[in-house]
Structure 1
Amino acid sequence: MFINTLQISTKRVNSSLSKVRTLSVSDKRGIAGGHNKMTEHQRNYVINHINKFPRYKSHYCRAHRNEQEFLPVGTTLPLMYKLYNEETPKKDCVSFSSYRKIFLTEFNLRTKAPKKDTCNKCDTFQAKAQSTSSIEEKQLLKSEHDAHLLEAECARKQMEADLKEAFENNELETLTFDMEKTLPLPRLTTNIIFYKRQLWLYDCGIHSGKNNKAVCNLWIEGQAGRGAQEVGSCIKKYVKNNVPETVKRLILWSDSCGGQNRNIKIILMFKCVLEENPSLDSIQLKFLTSGHSFLPNDSDFGDIECALKRQQKLFSPEDYANVIKGCRKRNPIEVVFLEKNDFVGTGNIEKLITNRKKDVNETKINWLQIKEIKIQQDKPYSIFIINMHNAPDYSEINIKKRQGRPKNVDNHIIFLNNLEPLWPRGKPVAQAKLDDITSYLHLIPAADQPFYLHLTGDAILEEDIDGYNVAALDFELESGSD
């Protein structure tokens, strides 16, 4: 049966059995080394090639103190291997599997930027449910998960209701805002660009519920960063130029990014917006549930990114602006370029108020649990918060100093007139990035080169995949889920 199944001869079986009986069988596979065995020279060449690619850290991961680094967005293993193949003599090339093995074993690199779109709570519920065999515990986890999903759905429906009401009510405007992922400058197809750092172009998108119009506020990292004060500056400029005096209430919806949206800096910026626009009675800032925060801005960004896929070469912010303006025929997106004078900071104001960690009832405040923040024209020193959408009562935080009186007691002076230029001389970029830009300046048309020549570098600034220069962050890094 054995011989017929394998279709081999009796002589071959008898020969093998006799060798086994005499213990003369030995495994000689691999003794010759194999004709395609990777040499040390080939291995070192692959390592040197991978080291050519710039890498970044993520500010989201710094709290965990790991040493993982990230390759630029769009840099994948197949692309890296393709570039390796093009510049390596054919006789010295290793296979893709060998290249991939070296990448995984010798480097602590990721080919994709860390995502904050997944919901930590949903992932935790799923992991716990899979690891427990207790029916009671599974039922408890399911009920908690259902409550979390219900909360997310409630926030989403409330946002939709606010957008609809803004369209119908002349005294209400609802805005949603979000930061698009960083856009690289220049955008080239030349192979050398994959080994070099590029300049970041930032886009703060604002979408109006009153007219369903989208505005993209653009600036480069050589002008400002992308923290809370920059986001607040964009909204301040938008409200001044686009919100009519008939509007009495302003509602703002955003995701739950604590660094950009839920902190004292952006609230002080909105205090200034109230003073600058006396027709406004109040501003409400509401947050979607983390991991379930799909905003109208995401649709706008999706149209932009689809249009960018058809563009191979972009050399300036104006080139990106033309793509954004033409990415859709119906309801086109408006583009606004921000100058360094548009970015203002709250440093002086923070010295004149007290950023209390408890409300007026001495209850401790957790900013990451706040679902809505409200400020009013008639109560300049009060911040009203709730930790659940549609909650009946707000908690009040008093930010006025208790001891003595501020030098300037007029409310308009304390807030609006104490704004300071955030980056009066522009914001430098990391020196290593500036060196890389200089090295491929010859690939950029002469008409666009002055834009890059005006950049300044700083050797202290640390590179970050998310577009932040960590040494100059204007908010504390988050340590985990909210």
Structure 2
Amino acid sequence: MADGQECTAIKAEQELHQRKVEAARQGMTHDAETAKSDTDMSVISFDLMKRLATPIISTGVAYYKRQLWTFCLGFMISKLASDYKVDIIDYKFLVSGHSYLPNDQDFGLIEKNKKHYKNIYVPNDWVQVVLEIKKKNPFRVVVMTSSDFFSTNELEKALTNRKKTAADEKVEWLRIQWLRYEKEKPGIIQYKYSNNEVVLFNEVNVKKRGKQTFQEMAKLLPLFGGPKSISEKKYQDLLSLLDYIPPVNHEFYRKLVHNARVEEDSDVFDDNREEENE
């Protein structure tokens, strides 16, 4: 009897999971179609591709060396509104394990086209890989520099990671499928555990008490004071590969900013914000 009840429960859970998968997928399609006729709405999907190693050379020596990493953040814009004034941002998530986006198809094209390049010597070579994928409606590539990145530290100082809403309900962050931010509700995160339009939003106030308003902290400071440094060990490893790289690219590597105090590159974000259970 217990086994039968357990099987029924598992089946019900699987069916609920599948309904969520389908609802999220249908919601994404619906939003993209709606944006085509709604002049006040823009729909954007974005995803970060896996890190692209540089240089890629025909010798196996590079495999044992510390390399540069090129990051490719892909944006698929269904339609961009002519007016950049933003009053509401809806941030929706697909179901984990079923999160295939249009961007993933683009990333697949990059991987496929990369096979036509025996060697990739500098990050700009990755740009060419992307630009040459499609002759009609080619991808647009924006090369970011250190001046394009801004720090959110001052804003984060005004925020706290509250575990409960004002109604004393627990916020289960990992279950959230839809976040909403409204210009008229600074410091308020609206959320729900569904992509269903009819489900009401919950709210949690993440603003610390007695802090400056967000308008007072609206000026974001540069994240980097200049080019980002790499570690001395990585720099020396890259120089050791110059024998396999054309001389025309040597200057790029020799001019890389490096610092002995930088131990190793890290992709880990250290979130030290305080938490509140209230």
TM-score normalised over the length of structure 2: 0.88
Letter in 1 for 2:257: L
- Partner Cα distance (1:388, 1:346) in 2: 28
Q: Does 1:384 align with 2:190?
A: yes
C-alpha distance after superposition, 1:286-325 (max 9, x if no partner): 0011110010001111111110011111112221111101
Could you tell me which residue of structure 2 aligns to residue 319 of structure 1? Answer: 125
Letter in 2 for 1:244: S
Map 1:44-63; keep pairs closer than 5 Å.
none
Could you tell me which residue of structure 1 aligns to residue 160 of structure 2? Answer: 354
- The answer to whether the 8 Å contact 2:40/2:81 transfers is no
Q: Does 1:176 align with 2:45?
A: yes
Could you tell me which residue of structure 2 aligns to residue 148 of structure 1? Answer: 17
- Partner Cα distance (2:64, 2:260) in 1: 20
- The answer to whether the 8 Å contact 2:46/2:74 transfers is yes
Find the structure with the greater CA-based Rg: 1
Q: How many residues align?
A: 269
Letter in 2 for 1:185: T
1:349 positional shift: 1.2
Could you tell me which residue of structure 1 aligns to residue 269 of structure 2? Answer: 473
- The answer to whether the 8 Å contact 1:428/1:458 transfers is no
1:191 positional shift: 2.8
Moved over 6 A (4+): none
- Partner Cα distance (2:271, 2:36) in 1: 34
1:443/1:186 CA distance change after superposition, 3 Å: same
1:374 positional shift: 0.6
Unpaired runs of at least 5, structure 1: 1-132, 211-241, 246-276, 464-468, 477-482
Q: Does 1:399 align with 2:243?
A: no
Query: What SS class does the counterpart of residue 108 from structure 2 fall into?
Result: helix
1:413 positional shift: 2.4
1:392/1:135 CA distance change after superposition, 3 Å: closer
TM-score normalised over the length of structure 1: 0.52
Query: What SS class does the counterpart of residue 437 from structure 1 fall into?
Result: helix
Could you tell me which residue of structure 1 aligns to residue 275 of structure 2? Answer: none
Letter in 2 for 1:422: L
Map 1:57-456; keep pairs closer than 5 Å.
134-210=3-79, 243-245=81-83, 277=84, 279-390=85-196, 391-402=198-209, 404-406=210-212, 409=213, 411-414=214-217, 416-417=218-219, 419-453=220-254, 454-456=256-258
Query: What SS class does the counterpart of residue 322 from structure 1 fall into?
Result: helix
1:382/1:437 CA distance change after superposition, 3 Å: same
Could you tell me which residue of structure 2 aligns to residue 47 of structure 1? Answer: none
- Partner Cα distance (1:458, 1:285) in 2: 40
Letter in 2 for 1:163: A
1:425/1:297 CA distance change after superposition, 3 Å: same
Q: Identify which of structures 1 and 2 has the higher relative contact order when contacts are C-alpha pairs closer than 8 Å and 6+ apart.
A: 2
- Partner Cα distance (1:436, 1:405) in 2: 47
Let me know the Cα RMSD of the aligned residues: 2.2
C-alpha distance after superposition, 1:10-43 (max 9, x if no partner): xxxxxxxxxxxxxxxxxxxxxxxxxxxxxxxxxx
- The answer to whether the 8 Å contact 1:344/1:422 transfers is yes
- Partner Cα distance (2:9, 2:216) in 1: 53
Letter in 1 for 2:161: N
- Partner Cα distance (2:263, 2:171) in 1: 33
1:475/1:422 CA distance change after superposition, 3 Å: same
Letter in 1 for 2:246: P
- Partner Cα distance (1:155, 1:413) in 2: 37
C-alpha distance after superposition, 1:340-365 (max 9, x if no partner): 01111211112223332222212121
Letter in 2 for 1:202: F
- Partner Cα distance (1:352, 1:461) in 2: 31
- Partner Cα distance (1:385, 1:201) in 2: 33
- Partner Cα distance (1:319, 1:283) in 2: 35
1:156/1:475 CA distance change after superposition, 3 Å: farther
C-alpha distance after superposition, 1:54-112 (max 9, x if no partner): xxxxxxxxxxxxxxxxxxxxxxxxxxxxxxxxxxxxxxxxxxxxxxxxxxxxxxxxxxx
1:372/1:442 CA distance change after superposition, 3 Å: same
Could you tell me which residue of structure 2 aligns to residue 265 of structure 1? Answer: none
- Partner Cα distance (1:432, 1:243) in 2: 46
1:293/1:458 CA distance change after superposition, 3 Å: farther
- Share of identical aligned residues, percent? 33
C-alpha distance after superposition, 1:415-466 (max 9, x if no partner): x21x222222333334433221121122222222222222314565446xxx
- Partner Cα distance (1:376, 1:337) in 2: 30
- Partner Cα distance (1:460, 1:366) in 2: 36
With 333-342 and 452-461 compared, the bigger mean Cα shift is at 452-461
